[in-house]
Protein backbone atom coordinates (compact mmCIF):
# COMPACT_ATOMS: atom_id res chain seq x y z
CA UNK A 1 0.00 0.00 0.00
CA UNK A 2 2.74 2.46 -0.73
CA UNK A 3 1.59 3.39 -4.16
CA UNK A 4 -1.98 4.47 -3.91
CA UNK A 5 -3.09 7.51 -5.81
CA UNK A 6 -3.67 9.30 -2.58
CA UNK A 7 -0.25 8.60 -1.21
CA UNK A 8 1.70 9.79 -4.20
CA UNK A 9 -0.41 12.38 -5.87
CA UNK A 10 0.56 15.88 -4.80
CA UNK A 11 -2.22 18.25 -3.97
CA UNK A 12 -2.70 20.93 -6.53
CA UNK A 13 -5.47 23.01 -7.91
CA UNK A 14 -3.63 24.25 -10.94
CA UNK A 15 -2.91 22.64 -14.24
CA UNK A 16 0.79 22.29 -13.62
CA UNK A 17 2.37 19.02 -14.49
CA UNK A 18 2.26 16.83 -11.40
CA UNK A 19 5.73 15.55 -12.02
CA UNK A 20 5.29 11.91 -12.97
CA UNK A 21 5.61 10.41 -16.41
CA UNK A 22 2.35 9.74 -18.19
CA UNK A 23 1.61 7.31 -20.95
CA UNK A 24 1.01 8.52 -24.46
CA UNK A 25 -2.77 8.90 -24.88
CA UNK A 26 -4.51 8.47 -28.23
CA UNK A 27 -7.77 7.57 -29.87
CA UNK A 28 -8.05 5.20 -32.85
CA UNK A 29 -11.20 4.63 -34.86
CA UNK A 30 -12.37 1.73 -36.99
CA UNK A 31 -14.59 3.48 -39.54
CA UNK A 32 -16.95 1.05 -41.22
CA UNK A 33 -18.99 1.52 -44.33
CA UNK A 34 -20.65 -0.57 -46.97
CA UNK A 35 -19.22 -0.24 -50.46
CA UNK A 36 -19.44 -2.51 -53.47
CA UNK A 37 -21.67 -4.91 -51.57
CA UNK A 38 -19.08 -5.47 -48.87
CA UNK A 39 -18.35 -4.30 -45.35
CA UNK A 40 -15.25 -2.08 -45.49
CA UNK A 41 -13.00 -0.35 -43.03
CA UNK A 42 -11.01 2.80 -43.67
CA UNK A 43 -7.24 2.45 -43.28
CA UNK A 44 -4.39 4.96 -43.46
CA UNK A 45 -0.88 4.26 -44.63
CA UNK A 46 1.71 5.35 -42.09
CA UNK A 47 4.34 7.67 -43.51
CA UNK A 48 6.61 8.05 -40.52
CA UNK A 49 7.58 6.45 -37.27
CA UNK A 50 7.38 2.82 -36.32
CA UNK A 51 5.48 0.64 -38.77
CA UNK A 52 6.25 3.19 -41.49
CA UNK A 53 4.58 2.15 -44.72
CA UNK A 54 2.12 -0.17 -42.98
CA UNK A 55 -1.62 0.33 -42.83
CA UNK A 56 -3.25 1.45 -39.62
CA UNK A 57 -6.56 2.60 -38.21
CA UNK A 58 -6.93 6.38 -38.36
CA UNK A 59 -6.42 8.06 -35.04
CA UNK A 60 -4.45 10.68 -33.24
CA UNK A 61 -3.07 11.95 -30.03
CA UNK A 62 -5.50 13.53 -27.58
CA UNK A 63 -4.98 17.28 -27.68
CA UNK A 64 -5.73 18.63 -24.25
CA UNK A 65 -6.10 22.17 -25.49
CA UNK A 66 -8.35 21.36 -28.41
CA UNK A 67 -10.41 18.34 -27.39
CA UNK A 68 -13.03 18.75 -24.69
CA UNK A 69 -13.41 15.00 -24.23
CA UNK A 70 -12.46 11.64 -25.71
CA UNK A 71 -15.33 11.52 -28.13
CA UNK A 72 -14.53 14.92 -29.57
CA UNK A 73 -11.00 13.72 -30.24
CA UNK A 74 -12.39 10.75 -32.17
CA UNK A 75 -14.91 12.93 -34.00
CA UNK A 76 -12.30 15.47 -34.99
CA UNK A 77 -10.31 12.83 -36.81
CA UNK A 78 -13.38 11.22 -38.32
CA UNK A 79 -14.77 14.47 -39.65
CA UNK A 80 -11.47 15.42 -41.21
CA UNK A 81 -11.26 12.11 -43.02
CA UNK A 82 -14.82 11.45 -44.09
CA UNK A 83 -16.61 14.76 -43.77
CA UNK A 84 -19.27 13.14 -41.60
CA UNK A 85 -19.95 15.31 -38.57
CA UNK A 86 -22.29 13.11 -36.53
CA UNK A 87 -21.79 9.48 -37.37
CA UNK A 88 -22.72 6.59 -35.15
CA UNK A 89 -19.72 6.47 -32.86
CA UNK A 90 -19.28 3.99 -30.05
CA UNK A 91 -16.41 3.43 -27.70
CA UNK A 92 -14.96 -0.06 -27.86
CA UNK A 93 -12.36 -0.39 -25.13
CA UNK A 94 -8.94 0.92 -24.26
CA UNK A 95 -5.66 -0.75 -25.09
CA UNK A 96 -2.63 0.20 -23.08
CA UNK A 97 0.71 -1.38 -22.33
CA UNK A 98 4.41 -0.85 -22.21
CA UNK A 99 4.86 -2.75 -25.49
CA UNK A 100 2.14 -1.75 -27.90
CA UNK A 101 4.20 1.17 -29.18
CA UNK A 102 7.92 0.42 -29.40
CA UNK A 103 8.74 3.98 -28.42
CA UNK A 104 7.01 4.29 -25.08
CA UNK A 105 4.18 3.29 -22.77
CA UNK A 106 1.13 3.95 -24.87
CA UNK A 107 -2.60 3.88 -24.40
CA UNK A 108 -5.29 4.20 -27.05
CA UNK A 109 -9.04 4.47 -26.66
CA UNK A 110 -10.58 2.44 -29.47
CA UNK A 111 -13.79 3.53 -31.17
CA UNK A 112 -15.79 2.25 -34.06
CA UNK A 113 -17.92 4.38 -36.33
CA UNK A 114 -20.59 3.64 -38.92
CA UNK A 115 -20.67 5.93 -41.94
CA UNK A 116 -23.61 5.93 -44.37
CA UNK A 117 -22.78 4.57 -47.76
CA UNK A 118 -23.99 7.72 -49.49
CA UNK A 119 -21.30 9.85 -47.84
CA UNK A 120 -18.49 7.59 -48.82
CA UNK A 121 -16.34 10.06 -50.72
CA UNK A 122 -13.19 10.69 -48.79
CA UNK A 123 -11.96 14.19 -48.25
CA UNK A 124 -8.88 15.62 -49.83
CA UNK A 125 -7.12 13.75 -47.09
CA UNK A 126 -7.47 10.63 -49.13
CA UNK A 127 -4.65 11.31 -51.52
CA UNK A 128 -2.57 13.19 -49.03
CA UNK A 129 -2.62 10.37 -46.59
CA UNK A 130 -3.12 7.37 -48.75
CA UNK A 131 -6.40 6.33 -47.22
CA UNK A 132 -8.23 3.29 -48.57
CA UNK A 133 -11.29 1.22 -47.85
CA UNK A 134 -10.38 -2.40 -47.15
CA UNK A 135 -12.87 -5.23 -47.24
CA UNK A 136 -13.49 -7.04 -43.97
CA UNK A 137 -12.80 -10.73 -44.41
CA UNK A 138 -13.66 -12.73 -41.32
CA UNK A 139 -12.56 -10.30 -38.65
CA UNK A 140 -9.61 -8.80 -40.39
CA UNK A 141 -8.31 -7.32 -43.63
CA UNK A 142 -5.89 -8.59 -46.24
CA UNK A 143 -2.97 -6.43 -45.12
CA UNK A 144 -1.02 -6.54 -41.85
CA UNK A 145 -1.79 -3.64 -39.55
CA UNK A 146 0.52 -1.48 -37.48
CA UNK A 147 0.73 -1.70 -33.67
CA UNK A 148 -2.09 -3.77 -32.18
CA UNK A 149 -4.60 -2.45 -34.68
CA UNK A 150 -5.46 -5.93 -35.91
CA UNK A 151 -6.65 -6.67 -32.40
CA UNK A 152 -8.65 -3.44 -32.22
CA UNK A 153 -10.21 -4.09 -35.62
CA UNK A 154 -11.09 -7.64 -34.66
CA UNK A 155 -12.80 -6.41 -31.51
CA UNK A 156 -14.65 -3.76 -33.51
CA UNK A 157 -15.96 -6.30 -36.01
CA UNK A 158 -17.02 -8.62 -33.22
CA UNK A 159 -18.81 -5.83 -31.42
CA UNK A 160 -20.57 -4.70 -34.56
CA UNK A 161 -21.72 -8.25 -35.37
CA UNK A 162 -22.91 -8.72 -31.83
CA UNK A 163 -24.75 -5.41 -31.70
CA UNK A 164 -26.40 -6.01 -35.00
CA UNK A 165 -28.00 -9.13 -33.60
CA UNK A 166 -30.04 -7.35 -31.01
CA UNK A 167 -30.46 -3.89 -32.45
CA UNK A 168 -31.08 -2.28 -35.83
CA UNK A 169 -27.80 -0.38 -35.57
CA UNK A 170 -27.12 -1.11 -39.22
CA UNK A 171 -29.42 1.73 -40.24
CA UNK A 172 -26.42 3.96 -39.63
CA UNK A 173 -24.68 2.36 -42.58
CA UNK A 174 -27.54 3.18 -44.93
CA UNK A 175 -28.57 6.45 -46.54
CA UNK A 176 -31.29 8.50 -44.91
CA UNK A 177 -34.01 6.60 -46.69
CA UNK A 178 -33.82 2.91 -47.43
CA UNK A 179 -35.94 -0.14 -48.09
CA UNK A 180 -36.25 -3.05 -45.72
CA UNK A 181 -34.60 -5.23 -48.34
CA UNK A 182 -31.58 -2.92 -48.31
CA UNK A 183 -31.49 -3.04 -44.54
CA UNK A 184 -31.61 -6.82 -44.65
CA UNK A 185 -28.82 -6.97 -47.22
CA UNK A 186 -26.69 -4.77 -44.97
CA UNK A 187 -27.30 -7.16 -42.10
CA UNK A 188 -26.30 -10.07 -44.27
CA UNK A 189 -23.07 -8.37 -45.28
CA UNK A 190 -22.17 -7.67 -41.68
CA UNK A 191 -23.06 -11.08 -40.37
CA UNK A 192 -21.81 -13.00 -43.37
CA UNK A 193 -24.92 -15.15 -43.57
CA UNK A 194 -28.31 -15.00 -45.19
CA UNK A 195 -31.44 -14.18 -43.22
CA UNK A 196 -35.04 -15.10 -43.70
CA UNK A 197 -37.18 -12.20 -44.83
CA UNK A 198 -40.25 -12.77 -42.73
CA UNK A 199 -38.83 -12.90 -39.21
CA UNK A 200 -36.39 -10.14 -40.12
CA UNK A 201 -39.19 -7.76 -40.97
CA UNK A 202 -41.19 -8.83 -37.96
CA UNK A 203 -38.28 -7.98 -35.67
CA UNK A 204 -37.30 -4.72 -37.28
CA UNK A 205 -40.84 -3.42 -37.22
CA UNK A 206 -41.27 -4.56 -33.64
CA UNK A 207 -38.41 -2.32 -32.52
CA UNK A 208 -40.01 0.79 -33.94
CA UNK A 209 -36.63 2.17 -34.91
CA UNK A 210 -37.65 2.63 -38.51
CA UNK A 211 -40.79 4.23 -39.86
CA UNK A 212 -42.20 4.23 -43.38
CA UNK A 213 -41.88 7.33 -45.54
CA UNK A 214 -44.89 8.06 -47.67
CA UNK A 215 -43.40 7.67 -51.07
CA UNK A 216 -42.01 4.73 -52.92
CA UNK A 217 -38.90 3.71 -54.72
CA UNK A 218 -38.33 1.34 -57.49
CA UNK A 219 -35.52 -0.97 -58.27
CA UNK A 220 -34.29 -2.16 -61.64
CA UNK A 221 -37.08 -4.68 -61.57
CA UNK A 222 -39.97 -5.91 -59.52
CA UNK A 223 -42.56 -4.37 -57.27
CA UNK A 224 -41.66 -0.96 -55.83
CA UNK A 225 -40.51 -1.02 -52.26
CA UNK A 226 -41.62 1.14 -49.35
CA UNK A 227 -38.96 3.52 -48.16
CA UNK A 228 -38.19 3.73 -44.47
CA UNK A 229 -36.24 6.12 -42.34
CA UNK A 230 -34.74 6.24 -38.88
CA UNK A 231 -37.65 6.91 -36.54
CA UNK A 232 -36.32 7.50 -33.07
CA UNK A 233 -33.22 8.04 -31.12
CA UNK A 234 -31.08 4.97 -30.91
CA UNK A 235 -31.12 4.81 -27.12
CA UNK A 236 -32.95 1.98 -25.51
CA UNK A 237 -34.13 0.52 -28.77
CA UNK A 238 -33.31 -3.11 -28.77
CA UNK A 239 -34.68 -6.34 -29.93
CA UNK A 240 -35.99 -8.07 -26.88
CA UNK A 241 -33.27 -10.51 -25.98
CA UNK A 242 -35.21 -13.57 -25.18
CA UNK A 243 -32.14 -14.95 -23.52
CA UNK A 244 -32.13 -11.99 -21.25
CA UNK A 245 -35.53 -13.09 -20.13
CA UNK A 246 -34.22 -16.55 -19.43
CA UNK A 247 -34.70 -16.38 -15.69
CA UNK A 248 -36.99 -13.46 -15.50
CA UNK A 249 -40.49 -13.98 -14.30
CA UNK A 250 -43.24 -12.21 -16.16
Partner DNA sequence: GTAATAGTGTCTATCAGACACTATTCA
Partner DNA sequence: TGAATAGTGTCTGATAGACACTATTAC
Which residues, in sequence order, are CB contacts of 65 under 8 Å at separation 6+?
none
Question: Nearer to DNA by C-beta: 57 or 174?
Answer: 174
Window contacting a second copy (CB under 8 A); options: 112-120, 136-144, 173-181, 193-201: 193-201
125 binds, among a second copy, DNA, none (CB under 5 to 8 A by kind): a second copy
Question: Nearer to DNA by C-beta: 64 or 206?
Answer: 206
Give ∠ CA 173-156-31 in degrees, rounded to 5: 45
User: Which parts of this chain interact with DNA (CB under 7 A)?
Assistant: 179-181, 196-199, 201-203, 216, 218-226, 240, 242-243, 245-250
CA pair distance 53, 211, nearest whole angstrom:
46
Window contacting a second copy (CB under 8 A); options: 134-142, 173-181, 217-225, 241-249: 241-249
CA pair distance 71, 104, nearest whole angstrom:
24
Question: Nearer to a second copy by C-beta: 66 or 235?
Answer: 66
Residue 99 touches a second copy, criterion: CB under 8 A: yes
Residue 1 touches a second copy, criterion: CB under 8 A: yes
Residue 158 touches a second copy, criterion: CB under 8 A: no
CA pair distance 67, 169, nearest whole angstrom:
27
Q: Contact at 8 Å (CB) between 30 and 153?
A: yes
Q: How many CB atoms lie within 10 A of CB 92?
A: 19
Amino acid sequence: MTDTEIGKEPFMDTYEDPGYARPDARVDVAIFSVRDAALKVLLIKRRVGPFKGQWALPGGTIHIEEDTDLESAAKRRLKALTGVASPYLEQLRTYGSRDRDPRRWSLTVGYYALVPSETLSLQAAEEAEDARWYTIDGDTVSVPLAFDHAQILSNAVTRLRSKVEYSPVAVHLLPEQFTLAELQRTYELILGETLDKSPFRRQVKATGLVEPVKGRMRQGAGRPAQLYRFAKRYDALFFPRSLARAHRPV
